[in-house]
């Protein structure tokens, strides 16, 4: 162990009075790092790290700007400190956090304002905080490539510099070499949305020195942000996002890089080499860092499939993992569970970056928000008792309506016509009425709670009337309940005017933030999982085939990862439709689709017995529901 690390532990031991109860060595075990360093006198500087790439084609290796703040007293005493790092493209274009904070600088270009509370809270506790401008953004050179080698490489280069494997400079061009002898080299990456995505991507390189990541509402595969099992997600493109985040850069010429982005992704939903480059799930085997992930089950921006497949892929790596699942949309836990989040982060970083034995790795692995502000712990996700259960649609007395049962397959047909102007909210609104644009099957009233925990799939055998076709499926909880208003402007939170403070403040770097509370709504239905596919990709995700009208095709596609209890007395429904407006783009011609019910089923991850229907009870004719704001996008991450 380095002598500098021993000094950190000694400082903590002297200043941390509280200890963990109930252990034989409690008197010798520090509870956690304490705010012993003066934030006002902290060292603030920018180092430009050489990435070894020339993305903007100017003949010089790109340098990325790493703005950092670290305790001055630690440097003067020769105490090396670990690093909390947030690499982002948003520090000038869009801002970070609920208050859209941007980096600020003094007249000499010295960093003053660091967005978010990480520096205010952790620097006094013996950490450095490093905020990295991704290549091609803010004060960094190079070009954005939306999750590709430039983005990931620019953040990885800073981890390498912190561990003595890359060169840093005192200026964007020229300048003198700068080393990072003040750090232990232990790095924890954190960030929401695009930032957390970069943390996932850097971890997937297996870079030495990255000890932990905290991805918040993060992408694990960019294909699953812009596409879905062959279907093209509605709105946005990698090239458009690159232009948005590069708006505040230093004016470098990225026309060639932008052309590559525009041309590198198929216009259809085929999985290509460009998507594979941005698929961190496929590289999860390389991850060595521990992972503390958090995601909103109702996130309609970065869909929950992104946490589900990433978490599951990490299971085989053996790394320590922790997961929070909220009822919110695309929201940071600092805004829905603030005190608990800061405390959890503090313990997590203390353990994985300072090496303090505080027992955090032995706390419950998974926490799930069951009702607004009501959390339960689980030992695993999917839940330990979760298993795949097949439920089959069976035709009823009314065309397009029927039951969803765990019994045997029953012959039957159901037909609907794709209406690209309708969405899942329209499909679900009148469950007792037949519809020309969807079919609906329900379990009937549940005799006991039904816990779904994991990632489900739909297998559908469908005959289209045209050569192109989309197919969508949604799971609906019918019954009165109070949930977070994830479709509202705050995606499940309401931000007030009162503030609370998390750490020390200085002029230009405030530690105080507006307090958010749960924004709730009473509903009669909750669409809690959905999935979309292009029938042309029934054989291969990498290559679509033209459909022959009148011929049946079988396709299996994924539903959004979830952890949801459908309560006793409610009903679970499966709805199958065509184009889910706002979520996926429509086909060239709207087809008439005939579903072969005997060869169509949904496979659900159920913790407990299969659903058992109670006494017959009609659904409400038009139950109230959340109407999601489909303008949500990563650009406002």
460: Cα within 13 Å, side-chain hemisphere: 33
d(C-alpha 99, C-alpha 584), whole Å: 30
CA atoms lying within 13 Å on the CB side of residue 269: 29
CA 354 → CA 30, 191, 357, 376, distances in Å?
Answer: 11, 20, 9, 29
Which residues on adjacent β-strands are paired with residue 168?
A: 49, 178
> Rounded to whole angstroms, how far apart are CA atoms 493 and 52?
42
Mark whether 330 is an active-site residue.
yes
CA of residue 148 relative to chain centroid, distance: 17
Parallel, antiparallel or unpaired: strands 571-577 and 470-484 = antiparallel
**In sequence order, what DSSP letters do the residues of 326-361 get, joined into one string?**
ES-SS--GGGTSHHHHHHHHHHHHHHHHH----SGG
What's the Cα-to-Cα distance from 141 to each of 245, 254, 480, rounded to whole Å?
13, 10, 53
Burial of residue 86 (CB within 10 Å: 0-12, 13-18, 19+) is buried
Q: In whole angstroms, give the CA distance from residue 233 to residue 342.
A: 34
Peptide bond into 382 cis (omega under 30): yes
* Active site (annotated) includes residue 299: yes
Instruction: Choose among 251, 216, 222, 248: nearest CA to 237.
Output: 222
Side-chain half-sphere CA neighbours of 622 within 13 A: 1
Kindly state the tokens that stand for 550.
């009148």
Provide the pairing of β-strand 457-464 with 168-169. Answer: unpaired
Count of all residues that appear for the chain in the document: 637
CA dihedral 392, 398, 400, 403 (to 10 degrees): -20
Q: How far apart are CA 526 and CA 200, in angstroms?
A: 30
Q: Which of 133, 151, 299, 607 is catalytic?
A: 299
Q: Coil, strand or helix: which one is 390?
A: strand
Neighbours of 456 (CB within 10 A): 24
Q: Which two tokens stand for residue 279?
A: 């698929």
Distance CA 257, CA 518 (A): 42
Residue 453: strand pairing partners:
563
Tokens of 553: 């095709």
With tokens 């055998």, the residue in question is 461
Active-site position among 330, 351, 538, 570: 330
Per the residue annotation, which of 193, 326, 561, 585 is the catalytic one?
Answer: 193
Please say whether the beta carbons of 292 and 325 come within 8 A.
no
- Got the DSSP string for 465-532? SSS--EEEEEEEEEEEEEEE-TTSTTSSEEEEEEEEE-S--BTTB--EEEEEEE-EEEEEEEEEEEEE
State the catalytic residues. Answer: 193, 299, 330
């Amino acid at each position: 162990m380095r002598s500098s690390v021993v000094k950190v532990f000694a400082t903590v031991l002297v200043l941390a009075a509280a200890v963990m109860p109930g252990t034989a060595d409690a008197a010798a075990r520090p509870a956690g790092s304490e705010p012993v360093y003066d934030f006002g006198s902290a060292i603030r500087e920018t180092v430009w790290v050489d990435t070894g790439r020339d993305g903007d084609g100017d003949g010089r290796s790109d340098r990325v700007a790493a703005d950092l703040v670290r305790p001055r007293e630690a440097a003067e005493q020769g105490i090396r400190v670990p690093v909390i790092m947030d690499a982002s493209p948003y520090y000038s274009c869009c801002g970070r956090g609920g208050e859209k904070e941007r980096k600020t600088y003094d007249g000499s270009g010295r960093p003053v304002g660091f967005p978010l509370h990480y520096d205010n809270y952790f620097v006094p506790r013996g950490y450095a905080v490093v905020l990295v401008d991704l290549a091609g953004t803010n004060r960094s050179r190079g070009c954005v490539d939306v999750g590709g080698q430039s983005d990931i490489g620019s953040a990885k280069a800073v981890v390498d510099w912190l561990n003595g494997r890359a060169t840093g400079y005192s200026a964007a061009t020229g300048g003198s070499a700068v080393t990072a002898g003040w750090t232990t080299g232990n790095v924890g990456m954190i960030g929401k949305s695009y930032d957390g995505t970069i943390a996932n991507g850097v971890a997937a390189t297996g870079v030495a020195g990255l000890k932990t990541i905290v991805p918040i509402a993060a992408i694990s595969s960019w294909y699953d942000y812009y596409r879905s099992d062959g279907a093209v997600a509605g709105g946005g493109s990698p090239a458009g996002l690159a232009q948005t985040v590069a708006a505040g850069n230093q004016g470098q010429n990225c026309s060639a890089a932008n052309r590559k982005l525009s041309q590198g992704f198929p216009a259809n939903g085929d999985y290509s080499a460009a998507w594979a480059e941005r698929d961190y799930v496929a590289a999860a085997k390389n991850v060595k860092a521990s992972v503390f992930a958090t995601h909103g089950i109702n996130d309609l921006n970065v869909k929950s499939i992104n946490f589900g497949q990433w978490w599951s892929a990490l299971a085989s790596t053996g790394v320590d993992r922790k997961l929070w699942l909220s009822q919110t949309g695309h929201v940071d836990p600092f805004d829905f569970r603030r005190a608990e989040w800061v405390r959890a982060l503090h313990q997590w970083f203390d353990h994985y970056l300072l090496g303090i034995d505080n027992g955090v790795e032995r706390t419950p692995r998974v926490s799930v928000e069951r009702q607004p502000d009501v959390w339960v712990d689980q030992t695993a996700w999917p839940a330990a008792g979760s298993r795949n259960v097949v439920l089959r649609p069976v035709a009823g007395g009314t065309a397009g309506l029927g039951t969803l049962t765990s019994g045997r397959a029953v012959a039957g047909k159901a037909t609907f016509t794709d209406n690209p102007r309708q969405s899942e909210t329209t499909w679900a609104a009148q469950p007792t009425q037949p519809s020309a644009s969807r079919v609906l099957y329900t379990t009937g009233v549940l005799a006991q709670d039904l816990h779904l925990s994991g990632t489900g799939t739909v297998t559908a055998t469908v005959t289209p009337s045209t050569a192109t076709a989309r197919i969508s499926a949604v799971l609906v909880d019918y019954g009165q309940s109070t949930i977070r208003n994830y479709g509202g402007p705050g995606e499940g939170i309401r931000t007030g005017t009162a503030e609370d403070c998390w750490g020390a403040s200085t002029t230009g770097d405030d530690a105080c933030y507006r307090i958010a509370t749960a924004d709730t709504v009473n509903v009669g239905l909750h669409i809690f999982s959905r999935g979309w596919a292009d029938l042309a990709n029934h054989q291969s995700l990498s290559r679509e085939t033209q459909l022959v009208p009148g011929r049946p095709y079988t396709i299996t596609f994924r539903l959004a990862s979830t952890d949801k209890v459908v309560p006793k007395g409610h009903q679970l429904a499966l709805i199958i439709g065509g184009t889910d407006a706002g979520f996926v783009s429509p086909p060239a011609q709207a087809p008439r689709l005939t579903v072969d019910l005997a060869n169509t089923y949904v496979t659900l991850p159920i913790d407990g017995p299969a659903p058992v229907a109670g006494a017959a009870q009609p659904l409400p004719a038009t139950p109230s529901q959340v109407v999601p704001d489909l303008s949500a996008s990563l650009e406002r991450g």
